[in-house]
Structure 1
């Protein structure tokens, strides 16, 4: 049987210069991310900050370790921004930064910021961004428990199981 390949190439999404995406070992700065999303045309900047909490399902957590397949994760971030602009054309800025490495309780693991003329669209776009990131980005975390054990978890698997990781 002869295989047929699609005649149209797969689209390569390039980020807009006003957007910012990163996978980094460095601590994330709320002020820096806010500044990247800010623009004089905005009526709102909505920021979502994901942090390492001290427990999961009542089990004490001492640290999380994040890993990502960076090239693909960044492509997912670009696609999220492209989708956002299709759904909410007024969005001025999309900022998504995710940390990797070992993080302690209280550390910020992910920051998403949306700059937009109107607050409603900014809130909706920000929620879309973090929910889509958690389902689609190749990011994994290892939960380090107080008892010395640890477990790797795919971020998308958390959402599918009903957990909020």
Structure 2
């Protein structure tokens, strides 16, 4: 299990290749990479992501350990950025490895749902006309109910 919290950009392809290369006894690797999307009307200058060091790492580790306990996983990778990010920049990545694809897919989906709604990050969308904190969405909360 590897949890990375950083302000610097990362190469999702290189990270996935490295993660996959280490999975010689696994039969499946599933990954998800999130990017900063622009506002519906365009105009997002940046998204500022804030967190509390120490607390955030512990929360990400707990979510990853929960996934490893629930599914037969060989490994988990979570990378999440903080600080100012511009539209189209990579914000995060999750990868799971398992002997079978179902466990890898379900665990990745679980991680994404919990990271989206329970990881202690605060996001502010900054445009030329406003700075708005991103509120939690009911759809994200509803997604947790299936787990």
Query: Which TM-score band applies after superposition, normalised by the shorter structure?
Result: 0.7 to 0.9
Q: TM-score, normalised by structure 1?
A: 0.76
| Contact 2:6-2:80 at 8 Å conserved across structures | yes
Give the structure with higher Rg (CA): 1
Question: 1:6 corresponds to which residue?
Answer: none
Larger RCO, structures 1/2 (Cα 8 Å, 6+ apart): 2
Displacement of 1:161 after TM fit? 6.3
Q: CA offsets per residue over residues 89-148 of structure 1, 9 Å max, x none? A: x20111111101111111010111111111111111001011111221110111012x43
Question: 1:149 corresponds to which residue?
Answer: 130
Which of 9, 16, 40 is 1:27 aligned to? 9
Displacement of 1:162 after TM fit? 5.8
- The within-5 A match list for 1:67-106 is 67-88=50-71, 90-106=72-88
Count of matched residue pairs? 138
Gapped runs of 5+ residues in structure 2?
A: 142-147
| Contact 1:64-1:141 at 8 Å conserved across structures | yes
Q: TM-score, normalised by structure 2?
A: 0.84
Distance 1:104 1:77, change over 3 A: same
- The within-5 A match list for 1:1-16 is none
Gapped runs of 5+ residues in structure 1?
A: 1-18
